Amino acid sequence: MNLNDYHTFITVVKQQTITAAAVYLGIPKSTVSRRLKRLESSLGVELFTRSAKRLMLTHDGQALFERVVTPLDDLQSAQDAIMENQTEPTGLLRITTTEGYGQTPAVLQCFASYLERYPKIELDLLLTSRVTDMVEERIDIGLRLYTSMLPGDANTMSRRLHTISNGIFASPDYIRRRGTPKTPQELLQHDLVGFSAVSFASKPWRVKEELINEGLPFGTPRISVNNSATLVQSTIMGLGLGILDIGSAKFHVERGDLIRVLPQYEQDVAKVSLVWMASKHLSLKVRSFINHAVEYLG
């Protein structure tokens, strides 16, 4: 079955003459005639009664027209919609990442600016600590956090964004009440907001490029939380020193909600990469978000 022949047939019926149909389709009249004859030959019937002045549908031609005009019009509409999507990102974009990373100001600002740039896009965010099955769960983009090997397989592509590094922060209120630790040894005199999901305090720290394998001497946390957003808010409320993502905390430092202490000490925590399904024909919405995320989070 040649869809071009059926499309030409429908166009001739609507335009009423071969000449008008040829102009509409932008092809020679001889091509229109050849397609009509080929369709008649394949069906074994005559579709038109031809005269010097006009074409008239035969009974078989009328029956065929009524059966195929709606499906072919729908097919044309679908094709037009897809072509439109190739010029402007449109539709639903499903993105997954961890709960903590997905709630950071930088990531939320990335999402907000993307929606502002592309008003025909809708975002569906799946925030979870598990590694999702991108095919089964129909995920378009993953913002994956990892420490060693990037989770994925031969069916996925990736683009490295940045490394998450931690620093030590406190609220202005806490600093007024308890003072600012000037040396690592003074950390033992301060309260700590712990992160029960991961013991960041015990992990290695570095000063510039020099690694401190024994870590820093933090005391036992007065309060522990299992959610990174709660960790940030607890630190802002002055419940103790917080070991926070430097990039995310920057937003709160600029607002005056947090102050970084012992700023020479940093801790590399995880790498972040974009992950998507490998395809020769990557959709415009996926491509546009990859470019946008590299621009805002790279």
Decide which of 52, 85, 118 is a domain's last residue. 85
Q: Among 85, 116, 141, identify where a domain stops.
A: 85
What distance, in Å, lies between the first and last C-alpha atoms of the chain? Answer: 49
Among 85, 100, 134, the domain boundary falls at: 85
Identify the band that residue 264 occupies on the pLDDT scale cut at 50, 70 and 90.
Answer: very high
pLDDT at 84: 58
Same domain for 125 and 255, yes or no, is: yes
The predicted structure's pLDDT at residue 153: 66
Number of domains the chain is built from: 2
Q: Same domain, yes or no, for 55 and 103?
A: no
pTM value surpassing 0.95: no
Residues 144 and 286 in one domain: yes
My answer on whether 101 and 79 are in the same domain is no
Write out pLDDT tens, residues 102-118. Answer: 988 889 999 999 999 99
Clarify whether residues 114 and 68 are in a common domain: no
Residue pointed to by tokens 């095919």 = 135
Do residues 293 and 194 both lie within one domain? yes
| Domain membership of residue 140 as a residue range | 87-298
What CATH code is carried by the domain that includes residue 193?
3.40.190.290
CATH code for the domain of 55: 1.10.10.10
Q: What is the percent of the chain with per-residue pLDDT over 90, rounded to a whole number? A: 44
